[in-house]
Amino acid sequence: METPKPKVSVVMPAYNSEKYIKEAIESVLLQTFTDFEFIIINDGSTDKTDSIIKEFTDERIKYFPRAHSGLIDSLNFGLKNSCGEFIARFDSDDVCMPQRFEKQVAFLEKNAQHVLIGTHAIKIDENGKEFGEFVYPPTSWKEIKKYSLLHNPFIHPSVMFRKSILSKVTGYKHFKNAEDYELWTRIIYKYPCSNIPEKLLKYRIHTGQITKKNNTKMRISALYIRALAFFRFLFKS
């Protein structure tokens, strides 16, 4: 008898995440919505990430330790090995609020034309202390398309999307530090998307991220993707 497929595939890459990954994993396993598989890709970590992941025995976890190849390869590997109807993105240094999956699945099932749904988020520091919020991503499809011409319209680790859309737009491409933004520009001008105006994620801001956000290559990638977004906005391609 064929094993039933889970409704959701959670895709979480990890690289040298020993400081935060236990809390991240626990926040997924404690979701009120339970019909999911949890795909964890260890991208060649050299710290205790591997041993921490192996402490968990939940049958929903599918663990893939791999040689280091970078975030984008890890994401595409996770997508390729997922079998859920919906894909939930998540990062190994963030925290899911308990009802995140429940509310996103309910939205996608109620809104059959929508292919992607993000959320707002609470900012936390290295020690998990709350110090602000992200409420900037617009909620309506019309607003998202306009917003994307200058900014990324989704908080990447808050996103859930239909796996079926990947057959039309493929996966992540090699735009380092802006791979998510580029992927969204291939989706949002053709297919309805939205953001739930609720803070369903705790998004961690720490030193490594700040360095990355000020990286010149990331800025160049973002400028290029904005140009692509403008082109796709005009020609819906």
Q: Is residue 2 part of a domain?
A: no
User: Could you tell me which residues come within 8 angstroms of residue 36 by beta carbon, excluding any fewer than 6 positions away?
Assistant: 6, 7, 8, 9, 10, 28, 60, 84, 88, 101
List the beta bridge partners of residue 121: 134
| Residues 4, 66 contacting (CB under 8 angstroms) | no
Residue 140 lies in a domain: yes
Local confidence pLDDT in tens for the 237 residues of the chain = 677 899 999 999 999 999 999 999 999 999 999 999 999 999 999 999 999 999 999 999 999 999 999 999 999 999 999 999 999 999 999 999 999 999 999 999 999 999 999 999 999 999 999 999 999 889 999 999 999 988 899 999 999 999 999 999 989 998 878 899 999 999 999 999 999 999 999 999 987 654 454 466 666 666 656 666 666 666 664
Domain that holds residue 141: 8-235
In a domain? residue 58: yes
Q: Is 1 within a domain?
A: no
Considering the domain boundaries, does residue 31 fall inside one?
Answer: yes
**Does some domain include residue 177?**
yes
Residue 91 sits in a domain whose CATH number is 3.90.550.10
Is 138 part of any domain?
A: yes
User: What does pTM read for this prediction?
Assistant: 0.91
The reply to whether 3 falls in a domain is no
